[in-house]
Amino acid sequence: MINNRVLPRFTNTLSSVIIFGSFFFIAGIMWAGYLIRGSPLYTGVGVARPQPIPFSHERHIRSDAIDCRFCHSSVESSPFAGMPPTETCMQCHTQIGLNSPILDQVRESYKTNRPLQWQRIYNLPGYVHFDHSIHVNKGVGCVTCHGPMDNMVPLPEQFPIDNRTPVIWKAQPLTMQWCLKCHRNPENYVRPREQVFNLNWRPQKPQADLGRELIGKYKIKDAGYLTNCDVCHF
């Protein structure tokens, strides 16, 4: 068998190509993994989800001009922004939309004293603690993380399986990379406290100047502190 070749001659070239190419291949896999994990496939940004009732943030914020805190009442004082009890809905809906079939479930909940089961969209992993009150009080606007809620209209199409209307979606990926973008450079994102709940606020002067000023005023700690592991992780 000594004069036979196990593999044809072109495998010489092939093996060089494989060895040389493997570096690019491995780098490519790592980069693809990074892109996939940062994409909506993994983070769910912009992927519309249904709720028990097709609640429109757009109608309540823009048309009715209701403040965020009317429903999410504990946002300034507790880690949890607060989900409104059915009684909050019924403050208005005993007067408005009495015959609307959309509100059937709300009325049902009010009668039976069983809360509506809203689906959580902004879901953080168990090893992270997030406090709404500190962010709101240091001048991080709702819109910075939650996006333009006043534009979130229930989508016209429905989910094919249960005919439910997608009404709400994530505006930001909530990855650690995204959190750190602000924790490393808070001056790029802070705004005056009184503008926190204003979804359409634009800075009057350059954000860099304003940010530096507000950081001094609100005593926001530096990036060295804000990027400590235990600031966010247990």
Partner 1 sequence: MSQRAKREALTSEESLRPLIKPGHTLTSITNKISAIVLSPPLLTWLQWLIGLGLSFIILMIFMFGVSWVLYRGVGVWGVNIPVAWGFAITNFVWWIGIGHAGTLISAILLLMNQNWRNSINRFAEAMTLFALGCASLFPLLHLGRPEAFYWMLPYPNIMSLWPQFRSPLVWDVFAMIVYGLVSLFFWYLGLVPDLATLRDRTENRLAWVIYGILSLGWRGGSRQWFYYERAYLLLAGLATPLVISVHSIVSFDFSVAIVPGWHSTLFPPYFVAGAAFSGLAMVILIAIPIRYVFGLEDFITMRHFNNLAKLMLALGLIVAYSYVVEYFFRWYSDNTYQSNLTHDQATGAYSWMFWLQITCNALIPQVLWFKQVRSNLRLLFIVSIVISVGMWVERYVIVITSLHRDFLPSVFGMFSGTIWDWATLIGSFGLFLCLMFMFIRLLPGVSMAEMRKLLLHGKMKEES
Given candidates 180, 210, 215, 223, which one binds partner 1 under the rule CB under 8 A? Answer: 180
Given candidates 6, 19, 65, 98, which one binds partner 1 under the rule CB under 8 A? Answer: 6
Minimum distance between the CB of residue 228 and partner 1, rounded to whole angstroms?
13
- For 71, residues 6+ apart whose C-beta sits below 8 A from its C-beta are 82, 83, 84, 88
| Positive or negative torsion for Cα 220, 221, 226, 231 | negative
- For 226, residues 6+ apart whose C-beta sits below 8 A from its C-beta are 183, 184, 186, 220
Task: Return the range that interacts with partner 1 (CB under 8 A); candidates 136-144, 176-184, 196-204, 207-215.
Answer: 176-184
Minimum distance between the CB of residue 67 and partner 1, rounded to whole angstroms?
34
Task: Return the range that interacts with partner 1 (CB under 8 A); candidates 7-15, 44-52, 112-120, 160-168.
Answer: 7-15
Given candidates 12, 63, 100, 188, which one binds partner 1 under the rule CB under 8 A? Answer: 12
Cβ contact 50:167 at 8 Å: yes
Task: Return the range that interacts with partner 1 (CB under 8 A); candidates 32-40, 64-72, 119-127, 157-165.
Answer: 32-40
Amino acid at site 208: A
Judged by CB under 8 A, does residue 98 bind partner 1? no
Strand runs labelled E in 25-175: 49-50, 166-168
Q: DSSP letter for 65, please.
A: -
Crossing angle for the helix pair 86-93 and 104-112, to the nearest 10 degrees:
120
**Site for partner 1, rule CB under 8 A:** 1-2, 5-7, 12, 15, 30-31, 33-34, 37-38, 42-43, 173, 175-177, 180
